[in-house]
Amino acid sequence: MFCSYNNIYLFILILYYTSLRKGVKKFLAESILSDIIIIINEAKIYCCLTVRSYTVIRRGLNNILFGKGTNIIMGKTKIELLPYKQQLEEIYYILYNNAGYQKWWPADSPFEVAVGAILAQFVSWENAAAAIDNLKKNNALSIEKICGIDDSILEEYVKPARFYKQKAKKLKNFCCYVMNNYNCSLTDFFNKDILSLRQELLSLYGIGEETADSIILYAAEKPIFVIDAYTKRIFHRLGFLEENISYKNAQQFFMENLESNIDLFNDYHAQIVMLGKNYCFNKKPKCKKCPLLKLCEFADNKVS
């Protein structure tokens, strides 16, 4: 989107360059210009501009646009000043257009989702899926059966998910809790507001924030944004999150800046996992093929 404020931004850039050429200290020039730009942003004027030399000023703009709700998304020929909400939506649509709707969660029932969320802790989905297959093959995939099964047998079934002793214990504990408190009805267990359900899940043995939120979003179908290691890594590399941000703060960032929509949260998290598994590796990310390459600050240092 281009607007009549192009000239203002062009003027700001010229001012910036002129200041530097005249020997004004960089941080001082940036500070003055950031005030001007923040005033423009606070007036809710979102503009983009085309500059041939945008790559040269990219770093400078990054440094000066630090206010809440301001950041930059850069294309090959433009710089856009957008609020976080629009940036997050733009990222989602790029991922969606690249990979299509991810159809999560791969399960036949809400209970299977909950079982999968527990079994997938610290391992890939393939490991969890193999353990679920074992439970199915042995006709053991139900709340009553898992609660009543012998520990050693359950451990054997969930072995493909690794950490099998712990996971068997967590699974059994979850199932017995639902059986004893909700007469085996997950519907009754889930029939409460998100905060109460989250607190109740977190009070159970072996259920942490990511597992609880996965159960709330994908099994209970209530809108909460799931954070995982991929989310933190990718959005840190894109310049949105601090490197060691807490789960709570990362979740707050997405929940505050995205529409509270179950389908959006569902597929957004799935798209992030897709990107993390296929491109944004911890070491040697495949930046050249990544659909977010043009938006990524981290890639600038990696891709020539």
- Cα 111 to the chain's mean position, in Å? 24
Residues that bind ligand SF4 (CB under 6 A): 234, 237-238, 279-280, 285-287, 290, 292-293, 296, 298-299
- Indicate the residue among 241 and 296 with the shorter CB distance to ligand SF4: 296
Rg (CA), the chain: 24
Nearest in space to 271 (alpha carbons), one of 23, 34, 71, 100 = 100
**Strand order, beta sheet including 79-82:** 48-49, 79-82, 71-74
- Indicate the residue among 91 and 131 with the shorter CB distance to ligand SF4: 91
Quick check: 221 and 262 in contact, CB under 8 A? Answer: yes
Q: Is residue 200 packed enough to be buried (19+ CB in 10 Å), middle (13-18) or exposed (0-12)?
A: middle
CB of 149 to ligand SF4, least distance (A): 42
- Indicate the residue among 72 and 280 with the shorter CB distance to ligand SF4: 280
CB of 20 to ligand SF4, least distance (A): 29
Alpha carbons 92 and 243: distance in angstroms, whole number: 21
CB of 69 to ligand SF4, least distance (A): 22
- Indicate the residue among 258 and 299 with the shorter CB distance to ligand SF4: 299
CB of 302 to ligand SF4, least distance (A): 6
CB of 169 to ligand SF4, least distance (A): 36
Helix (H) or strand (E) holding 166: helix 164-182
- Indicate the residue among 168 and 292 with the shorter CB distance to ligand SF4: 292
